[in-house]
Amino acid sequence: MCGRFSFAVIAEIIEEHFHVRVDTNTYKPRYNCAPTQKLAVISNQNPEELSFFRWGLIPFWAKDKSIGNKLINAKAETIDQKPSFKTSFKQKRCLVLSDGFYEWKKINSKEKIPYRIIMNNGSPFAMAGIWDRWKDESGESIDSFAIITTEPNDLMKNIHTRMPVILKPGEERLWIEEQNPGILKSLLMPIDSNLLLTYPVSKLVNSPANDSPEVLKRAGN
């Protein structure tokens, strides 16, 4: 699964890389993004601006928003079949913006070591996501998202059994604009291992309360 990531990129680079407008009064760098938080996405509904959706998909038909706490990821293999995800896959897709994600490698029955995974050129990237809009009884709406995961590439196999779908720059707009399900599914593959770097980080990342540059540092530094 993908349960934590970072997006600590200055506004000018976001605008240049993703071709969106960034409201600097709303956006702030995030070093330890966690479920239930409002985080930066680009949606197919508003593709020219940076939006902020809640992490943890709440399907439009849900009776209670707490279901979103369990739906932070969607498997690429079954995304067009699962009731919680298939409508969003067809109609509501988004780019979840990141500059690195975290995963925990199991060492033994009691210990896990956190790792940070980044692009080898240090650039920001987009993870494939889906979103939905849920309304409560009072009419208040919540826009929420899930990150799509796939099988691990050769690099990630040493750390975890799943990884987020990282889209290449040329695939980002295709993901939110394309309508053909077959083409969309073809994008949901593990990225080439050679494009990634990974390193261990401190256990500060274990707590979402630790949202500072210290979280990004290599363990031991």
Just list the catalytic residues: 2, 103
Q: What string of DSSP letters covers 8-54?
A: ---HHHHHHHH--B--TTT---EEEE-TTSEEEEEESSSTTB-EEEE
- The secondary element (H helix, E strand) that includes residue 103 is strand 100-106
Q: What's the DSSP call for residue 75?
A: E
d(CA 169, CA 184): 15
d(CA 31, CA 129): 19
- From the list 108, 48, 47, 36, the residue with the least C-alpha distance to 72 is 36
- The secondary element (H helix, E strand) that includes residue 132 is strand 125-135
CB within 8 A of 164, min separation 6: which ones? 2, 5, 73, 96, 101, 127, 128, 147, 148, 149, 150
How would you classify the pairing of strands 166-167 and 125-135?
antiparallel
Q: What's the DSSP call for residue 64?
A: -
